[in-house]
Structure 1
Amino acid sequence: MRVFVTGATGWIGSAVVKELVSAGHQVTGLTTTADGAERLKKLGAKARVGRLAQHDLLRDAAARCDAVIHTAFIHDLSHMSLTTRLRLFAGALNGGIVASFLRILAETESGAILALGSGLEGSGRPLVVTSGVAFLPQGKISTESDDHMSDSPNRSFSEAAALSLIARGVRSSIIRLAPTVHGFGDRGFAAQIIAAARKKGVSPYIDSGANRWAAVHRLDAAKLFRLALEKGVSGAKYHGVGEVGIPFRDIASLIATRLRLPAVGIPAAKAAKHFGILSNFVGLDNPASSEWTRQALGWVPEQESLLADMDAHYFAPGS
């Protein structure tokens, strides 16, 4: 199968590319740089250099392929074009930087998904779009049938854009990833929390630390994307969750042990001082199930757990 992958040199996308190539698929990846194109060629994939705002490029690339996997995501300013950055700062003057960022994020990603869909329109070919389980209903184990909370930032705009394409003859499906996608080389939530503990000299958790984080290993997540591409059904929402919920206190305690620092509970009001922007996620009680996903696709997570992975790979010098 000829597959177009956006975000193909990113943390998730590069693992997806490797998984697809190893399974015999012909992959073309979207990357923003010539260096990224060279990295894709070394993985056995072709490359298209461009950005999510280039809708004609996305439409053409999708039309030339049998399927599309969308993993690209704007994480920070480095992922934005100059024009988008100017829009961000202009919008910050009217409503604040966070509101401006979320508005541009929704516009950019929704527009890109619709452009990809227009290249697949009327064909019944699959489009697999990335979302997340973060900000599904809190305090309970969420399932694939749950919707995101409307009063919190989330990826519902991605899901809405993808599912709107079903009526236009696109086999759209969603993969909701756990907030923590871990593995060797991770620079995400777990690595940033460790860095904060090193800098501040303490490893805190909020209140009792009983709130739970879902997690999945990067390689297991990549396998799920391939299975959704090959076997997924239109309109399905699959959960990329290897572990239902790990108490955050256990994560903080491991960090404290490995860095020889105290692990302490702090009130939510003080979380931002230690964690910065991550404080919006650290206190989430966001366990999630993938039972239906496993049954529907035959997905079996095989990699090591988050705590085992952190213990083995996240505390080496320079990590």
Structure 2
Amino acid sequence: MPPRYTPERVRYDRRYRTLDKYRFISWFLLVPLIIYAILVISPFFQAFYYSLTDWSGFSSDFNMVGLDNYSRMLEDDDFWASIRNSLLLLVVAPVITLGLGLFFAFMLQAGGRRKKSDAISGVTGAKFYKVVYFFPQVLSVAIIGVVWGAMFDPITGPINELLRTFGLGSLTQSWLANPDIAMFCVLFVMCWMFVGFYVVLFSAAMGSVPKDIYEAALLDGASRPTTFFRVTLPLIWDTVQTGWIYMGIQALDGFAVVHIMTINAGGPGNSTLVTPVYLYKKAFDVGQAGYATAVGVVLLIITMIFSGIMMLLSRRERIEF
């Protein structure tokens, strides 16, 4: 009597079970994918559709104008000013924020005095410092904008008052009214807002690195800077890459801080105008929702290009530990 299960029959049963498993998983994913497509994907296509119209945003009547909104951007000085400011934040804010986050996280994890039994030791009270660094993340962005706007006030603000107290009255400024430094004030506040998040994120990533690796580096005579650049940074590079993309997207947004802190939401003289604020003004202040939607589409394209470039430039061989 021939055997019941031949090699061909075994392979067939294996393929069938695999197909059945994926079919089972697909049915469970179907509903979430449909919801995601309706609530997340479809608005992107709707935005592109409305960017081809002259919709005012205040009525249901509009006409198709094709690519007129996009050609209008090429001659719009305010739009290009907002793009320049957004790109400035995109380049500078992640460098400063992630650099400070890595520095503080490494100091908290490895800045303490080395004990004989430990290759690496954190500072005393590291958990408390993490809470302090993370505190701005708990606050509302609106509260942060109002508080720092009051801090930079040239008359009643504590920054100028502190400079006068220490005899540095010549350094007092109308911080947010000076077009040469207003953008740097916004940049400072954005970095202050997010640095604590990355301190906690990078501290968690560094804490997952086995101490055996640090012990080997210590036996080789590696100093703290060498340990950071040759050991710690390569091992947490995936986290740094993710943080870079996330911070870049946050920098491209920058709506709430600029809208609340600055003069006329982007002033003085468009020196702090960023693209999301410009979009908001066109949509709600002058009733040009179709043009504002076209600006939003361009901002989406810039964000996707940035994410793709960062993933390509920061790609490296994954290190397992």
Q: Which has the higher contact order (CA 8 A, sep 6+)?
A: 2
Task: Tell me the TM-score normalised to structure 1 length.
Answer: 0.23
Task: Tell me the TM-score normalised to structure 2 length.
Answer: 0.23
Q: Which structure carries more helix by proportion?
A: 2
Q: Which structure carries more strand by proportion?
A: 1
